[in-house]
Structure 1
Amino acid sequence: MQNHSSDDDTKLRQAQTDLAMLFSTDLHVGAERFYKIKRKGTALNLRYEIDGELHQRSYLSALSWRAILLFALTESKTVIVHEMDEPGRYRRLFPTTLLRRLQWHARPNANFPPVARLYDPNGSAVMLLTRSRLCGHAVDVLHNLTDGEPVFQPLWISDIMALRPMLGINLVRDDAFSATMPVSAYLEAAAITGRIAAEPELCETPFGGNVPRLELPRPSAAVRSLFDQACRENPAVQDLQGRTAYGDYDFD
């Protein structure tokens, strides 16, 4: 019984840490926050369960789904997503096998190669996924959606899926992607070159063994207010502010 309780405490603490990270930053596309520049009249369709109760909704704002997840998970409810965006697209981008691999990589003090690559065939957007967070509802991502150098941050999977209907960024999964170099190599190369380098280019990059922290976009007031409410209801989460994804990796 003690081991079971200890495991539950560890999972709860990790979920709280993941939430703190997700609400300490925000997804920017170009120079603006994603939810501020979405096209008018667009929505993200979702079909999901909360503690076995099935829901089907269309959310006009990415913040709406974040709020539902935040309060469901802080109340220890089980959330299972069946569909996001167009029917079948969620599982094309995030098949069960990929979600399991991302979860396997969610180990403390790791430095594994990236697990998957998403890209826009009609644009320049690239995302490298490294591990899962928050029971598979979020992932750590190195991406180039912002102005300036690439960003390494945890992102809600719902935000990744919403890029197509809300902004027309139609990401697909690169089935040929197979990384052999660790996450740290991609991060250091991003800091040196200002872009996400392909693996052949990594072999020619003059690494110095130092993994600098790429600048994180700041969260909006709306995102912070959601998190502040969760902190008032669960003070333990408040103590986790300031944590970043880098703290869960071993880049030494």
Structure 2
Amino acid sequence: MILLTPEIRARLLANGAAETEADHVPVVKFFDPCGAATWLVTELDSDGDTLFGLADLGFGFPEPGSFSLSEIEAVRLSFGLGIERDLYFVARFPLSVYAEAARRAGGIVEDTDRLTAVSVALKGTPDPEIPPVGG
């Protein structure tokens, strides 16, 4: 599977080239189809290999940081599988919300209610830009 389409690559590079630090919304999610490892990616450096985002290797300690695209692409799993891109992932919150929810849960979560509660706790008020579930 191609992990980065040209469109995704362009979005990640644009986030990585931003002049100021920003709390970007994840652009893409990678996962191990045979295990618990998951990555939410927000940026790609100009070197074309260094990604930034939230990494959860399945040990209960997810953390934001940098990781290598080429290393993720090189992973070979059982049955000839590799790391895959979640074709249906749509991020609705900035990376800080996913990171805090993952810290509390011990792994990356996508439950909208839990993420909304963390978002409210971090900001103190609901974000009017986040549409209601089903809306």
Calculate the TM-score normalised by the size of structure 2: 0.75
Q: Hey, what does 1:36 align to over in structure 2?
A: none
Q: Hey, what does 2:131 align to over in structure 1?
A: none
1:98 aligns to what SS in structure 2?
helix
* CA RMSD between the two structures: 2.4
Q: Hey, what does 2:8 align to over in structure 1?
A: 98
Bigger radius of gyration: 1
1:93 aligns to what SS in structure 2?
coil
Between 1 and 2, higher relative CO (CA 8 Å, sep ≥ 6) is seen in: 1
Q: How does 1:207-246 map to 2 (within 5 A)?
A: 208-209=121-122
Return 5+ residue gaps in structure 1 as ranges: 1-88, 211-252
4+ residue segments displaced more than 4 Å: none
Q: Hey, what does 1:161 align to over in structure 2?
A: 73
Q: How does 1:122-161 map to 2 (within 5 A)?
A: 122-145=34-57, 147-161=59-73
Q: How far is 1:146 from its partner?
A: 5.6
1:143 aligns to what SS in structure 2?
strand
Q: How far is 1:180 from its partner?
A: 1.6
Q: 1:169 to 1:186 in 2, by over 3 A?
A: farther
Contact 1:113–1:182 (8 Å) recurs in 2:
yes
Which of 60, 77, 87 is matched with 1:175 structurally? 87
Mapped partners of 1:116, 1:141: distance in 2: 10
Return 5+ residue gaps in structure 2 as ranges: 124-135
Q: Hey, what does 1:202 align to over in structure 2?
A: 115
* Overall identity of the aligned pairs, in %: 30
Q: Hey, what does 2:98 align to over in structure 1?
A: 186
Structure richer in helix, relative to its length: 1
Q: 1:111 to 1:146 in 2, by over 3 A?
A: same
List per-residue Cα deviations over 1:58-96 (Å, max 9, x = no partner): xxxxxxxxxxxxxxxxxxxxxxxxxxxxxxx4xx11121
Mapped partners of 1:148, 1:179: distance in 2: 21
1:191 aligns to what SS in structure 2?
helix
